[in-house]
Amino acid sequence: MATKSNRRPATTSNRRPTTMAQDDDLGSKSVLWGYLSGIIVAAFIAIPLSAAFAFATHPNTQQLFSGRLSDATRGGYIAFWWLATLLLVALPFLVGFSVAKLSGRTLAIVGGIIGVFVVAILIVGQTFVF
């Protein structure tokens, strides 16, 4: 015998399915955390972004780099720095979107993987540079 709280209505409810606009309510904590993380990342990448933009718009800066970038063609050098600029511009949006949409467990896994990569890059950089 089913109790009143366990009964399911025989007819479908009149509720409409939620849309993405309703899920992205500005009052939602996950959306606010996404905005905050995007702003923090934008603050961290402001100087590298301005440097990449400067290198992309001033091709004579190619002479500052010795090695592979100095041997590249002018078009390749400009394309490289425009690509770096576009990736840096996209980074705060990607971080904010991922924080707003992903679960806490997934964010922890992704953060751990990125942390391991940063440590590995630092170790390899110290090994081969000095």
What's the token pair of residue 64? 């500052």
What is the spatial distance between Cα 68 and Cα 70, in angstroms, rounded to a whole number? 5
Report pTM.
0.63
Q: Is the pLDDT of residue 4 over 70?
A: no
Residue 18 has pLDDT above 60, yes or no: no
Q: How far apart are CA 106 and CA 15, in angstroms?
A: 31
Residue 56, number of CB atoms within 10 A of its CB: 19
pLDDT reported for residue 98? 86
Residue 19 phi/psi, 5-degree rounding, is -105, 170
Name the residue with tokens 């720095």: 81
Q: Name residue 53's amino acid.
A: F
**8 A C-beta contact, residue 38 and residue 90:** no
- Say whether pLDDT at 69 is over 80: no
Q: How confident is the model at residue 10 (pLDDT cuts 50, 70, 90)?
A: low
Checking if the pLDDT of 68 tops 70, the result is no
Give percent above pLDDT 90 in the chain: 21
Tens of pLDDT, residues 74-124:
888 888 889 999 989 999 998 888 888 888 888 888 888 888 988 988 888
**In this predicted model, what pLDDT tens digit does every residue of 103-116 receive, in sequence order?**
888 888 888 888 89
pLDDT at 101: 87
pLDDT at 20 over 70: no
Using a 10 angstrom Cβ sphere, with 0-12 exposed, 13-18 middle and 19 or more buried, the burial of residue 80 is: middle
